[in-house]
Amino acid sequence: MDTTAGQDPQQIVGEKRLRMWPGVVIVALIVLVRYVIPFFIPEADFSGVLVGVAGAALILVWWLFFSRAPWSERIGVLFVIAAAVIVIKPLVHASISNGFMGMMFYVYAVPATVAPALVAWALFSRRLSGPARWATMIATMLLACGAWMLLRTDGITGDAWAQLAWRWTRTAEERLLAQGESDPVPVAPAAPPGAPADAGKAPAVAQPSGAPVTAAAEPAGASAAKSAAPAANTAAAATATRATAAVEAPAIARIEWPGFRGSSRDGTVHGVKLETDWSTTPPVKIWHRQIGPGWSSFAVQGDLLFTQEQRGEEEMVVAYRVSTGEPVWRHRDAARFWESNGGAGPRGTPTLHDGRVYALGATGVLNVLDARNGAAIWSRNAASDSGKQIPMWGFSSSPLIVHDMVVVAAAGKLAAYEIATGKPRWFGPNGGGGYSSPHLATIGGIEQIVFLSAAGAAGINLADGKQLWQYAWPGTPILQPALTAEGDLLVSSGDAMGGMGIRRLAVTHAADSWSVAERWVSSGLKPYFSDFVVHNGHAFGFDGRILSCIDLKDGTRKWKGGRFGQGQLVLLPDQNLLLVLSEEGELGLVSATPDKFTEVARLPGIEGKTWNHPVLVRDTLLVRNDQEMAAFRLPLSSR
């Protein structure tokens, strides 16, 4: 006899009717905060993720204590969810398994699908009883978790929003490799005037102790492109390299932009004034081309630009024509770095000096190449030399040339090498981690390297690498320090939640002692990985995804406005103007004045997440991201 006949269907699950409305309301709030609000307010993305996690916890509280479900089901659901997560986690794509420092599957899957699926199951299975409810419960939880096996992430945005894609679709890097682009045809470099007869031959490769094995130029196409599938971020440093050169080796020309953020690493472009009415005289795209992933910027010499990128299992230093975007030469290392949040590829920007290109790869390979043809001069492994492991986001330093040394940062520790031979000169103190590059400055009349690491800010002696002074500020610094007109130091740092603000330090030197005084601490400008600039007693930069200006007298905020994501910018001081490259690849002009935020112009530039620093050489703007790069002709002002 059917004992449930004539009963309310909702009472089949127990003597009391299920209390569904709290769960339904919580799911509605999760959808609102997680998906709807960020659509209109993009900076709410990460807050939506956190609210989603909190909402999932509330759903579990509702289910356990207020749902009126039988206790066997209340407890049983927890075991079923745990089992589903354990079973599915090893089967999801590596980008999701490793994302958010290994927490993406838990942060995204449980709040976004499992918790709402629990409410949906409880709501629509009320008419079922006994084994049917348990069977549908198990199936629902497995489907809610298993859906994530169909996806991958191509990284995260600056607001920690996962860039989800179908697992079976090709990445941009895989599409690029499938095109089978051939290398430039190799030739010997042109001998400079007055050089001996054999000067055109590829230079011998110096291999100091601990350096990776290197080779001179080899014919193009010597090896096929390898799979672009993500590899572990413990990829070994290169054990072999090869360089390819263009048909006509370019002559050595004047260095226009020597490396990361310009000659002083301050993101300032002098002597250029632009037309600001882009509605009548807009920028003109000269060329664009697909490139491999990487967060490197550019160094520019004459008609050559130099950058770094990843293609399959090879990390590359590449030279392209500024005028056409055509490749001139490629230097390859058998190395690959990948991590889920930022993706694959090198992070540092090459540095130009005296006809050579200096580049540090994400796995620690330091290359010194002939700027004309990419032939290897010498190479070192800064990771093994300094005894440092590859950090979470890869080695990100851009080499600094100081007199007869090249200095790189190996995850919180400086390493200096003789530029002539590659022989180690000195190693600095271990400051923990960090992603900032060495910064040359003169403080207290003493030329030194200012370096930001997890321990804080420090001044490093050029002669022996010993520490002159230190200011303790634990964190994860990524940006460059800056100097005020009065000689004070501006430093920043960050943590897992983003930028921690800016501090102004007075560093003084008397006799043999140094002292550091903190003038002020400001939260009015909290840059994370978007560098700031200093102009006329004020600092301009990104406070999260919104531009901000602070007064350097006391750190107070003067204005905040404009939504550019986690972009980058350069300063045009002759015009009191900021040239902004947004995280979405847009080009913008903003007034570099403290009175108010004024957006002068904005136009589309390139597509995709854009974290790379732009470079402006006269009227040519160079931009790139992890998929493409482009050159724009900007209209110059005649006034």
594 contact partners, CB below 8 Å, separation of at least 6: 536, 537, 538, 549, 551, 558, 559
Tell which of 153, 183, 198 closes a domain.
153
pLDDT beyond 60 at 435:
yes
Name the more confident of 217 and 160: 160
Which one of 49-63, 123-137, 180-194, 448-462 scores highest in mean pLDDT? 448-462
Q: Please indicate, yes or no, whether residues 437 and 528 belong to a single structural domain of this protein.
A: yes
Burial class (CB in 10 A: 0-12, 13-18, 19+), 101: exposed
pLDDT 10s digits, 217-239: 333 333 333 333 333 333 334 43
pLDDT 10s digits, 366-416: 999 999 999 999 999 999 999 999 999 999 999 999 999 999 999 999 999
Q: Please indicate, yes or no, whether residues 16 and 122 belong to a single structural domain of this protein.
A: yes
Q: Please indicate, yes or no, whether residues 212 and 134 belong to a single structural domain of this protein.
A: no
Question: What's residue 587's pLDDT?
Answer: 97
| CATH number of residue 589's parent domain | 2.130.10.10
Say which range, 92-106, 442-456, 594-608, has the weakest mean pLDDT: 92-106
Question: What's residue 250's pLDDT?
Answer: 59
Q: Residues 577-592: what's their mean pLDDT?
A: 97
pLDDT beyond 90 at 101:
no
Residue 554 DSSP SS3: coil
Select from 346, 423, 337 the least CA-distant residue to 378.
Answer: 423
pLDDT beyond 80 at 22:
yes
* Strand 151-156 with 162-166, pairing: antiparallel
Whether 436 is in a domain gets the answer yes
325 HSE (CA, 13 A, CB side): 17
The pair of structure tokens assigned to 101 is: 């420092």
User: Which residue type occupies 306?
Assistant: F
Whether 281 is in a domain gets the answer yes
Residue 133 DSSP SS3: helix
Q: Please indicate, yes or no, whether residues 340 and 471 belong to a single structural domain of this protein.
A: yes
User: Is residue 473 within 8 Å of residue 501, measured between CB atoms?
Assistant: no
Whether 202 is in a domain gets the answer no
Tell which of 118, 133, 153 closes a domain.
153
Whether 14 is in a domain gets the answer yes
Query: If you search the block for the tokens 């659901």, which residue do you land on?
Result: 77
pLDDT beyond 70 at 454:
yes
Select from 508, 507, 516, 475 the least CA-distant residue to 493.
Answer: 475
pLDDT 10s digits, 615-627: 999 999 999 999 9
pLDDT tier at 93, thresholds 50, 70, 90: very high
Question: What's residue 227's pLDDT?
Answer: 34
Q: Please indicate, yes or no, whether residues 213 and 354 belong to a single structural domain of this protein.
A: yes
Question: What's residue 251's pLDDT?
Answer: 59
Q: Please indicate, yes or no, whether residues 148 and 264 belong to a single structural domain of this protein.
A: no
Q: Please indicate, yes or no, whether residues 450 and 515 belong to a single structural domain of this protein.
A: yes
pLDDT 10s digits, 518-551: 999 999 999 999 999 999 999 999 998 899 999 9
Q: Please indicate, yes or no, whether residues 279 and 369 belong to a single structural domain of this protein.
A: yes
Say which range, 6-10, 143-147, 295-299, 440-444, has the weakest mean pLDDT: 6-10
Name the more confident of 587 and 157: 587
User: Is residue 577 within 8 Å of residue 589, measured between CB atoms?
Assistant: yes
Say which range, 49-53, 117-121, 411-415, 591-595, has the weakest mean pLDDT: 49-53
Its domain, for residue 308, covers 208-218+230-243+252-633
The pair of structure tokens assigned to 171 is: 């990445």
Whether 376 is in a domain gets the answer yes
Question: What's residue 211's pLDDT?
Answer: 36
Q: Please indicate, yes or no, whether residues 378 and 452 belong to a single structural domain of this protein.
A: yes
Whether 346 is in a domain gets the answer yes
Q: How many domains does the chain have?
A: 2
Q: Please indicate, yes or no, whether residues 149 and 212 belong to a single structural domain of this protein.
A: no
Question: What's residue 249's pLDDT?
Answer: 54
Name the more confident of 183 and 622: 622
User: Is residue 248 within 8 Å of residue 193, measured between CB atoms?
Assistant: no
pTM: 0.86
User: Is residue 480 within 8 Å of residue 266, measured between CB atoms?
Assistant: yes
Using CA atoms of 76, 81, 83, 85 in order, give the dihedral in degrees to the nearest 10: -170
Whether 187 is in a domain gets the answer no
Whether 445 is in a domain gets the answer yes
Name the more confident of 43 and 337: 337
pLDDT beyond 90 at 200:
no
> CB count, 10 Å around CB of 490?
24
Select from 639, 634, 622, 638 the least CA-distant residue to 297.
Answer: 622
Question: What's residue 400's pLDDT?
Answer: 98
pLDDT tier at 162, thresholds 50, 70, 90: confident
Question: What's residue 46's pLDDT?
Answer: 66
Share of the chain above pLDDT 70, in %: 86
**Can you give the C-alpha Rg of the chain in angstroms?**
28
User: Is residue 349 within 8 Å of residue 308, measured between CB atoms?
Assistant: yes
> How large is the angle between the packed helices 71-88 and 45-65, nearest 10 degrees?
140
The pair of structure tokens assigned to 216 is: 């001179």
pLDDT 10s digits, 468-510: 999 999 999 999 999 999 999 999 998 877 889 999 999 999 8
User: What burial letters (b/e) apply to 244-256, b meaning 16+ CB within 10 Å?
Assistant: bbbeebbebeebb
Q: Please indicate, yes or no, whether residues 148 and 212 belong to a single structural domain of this protein.
A: no
Q: Please indicate, yes or no, whether residues 142 and 260 belong to a single structural domain of this protein.
A: no
Tell which of 132, 153, 174 closes a domain.
153
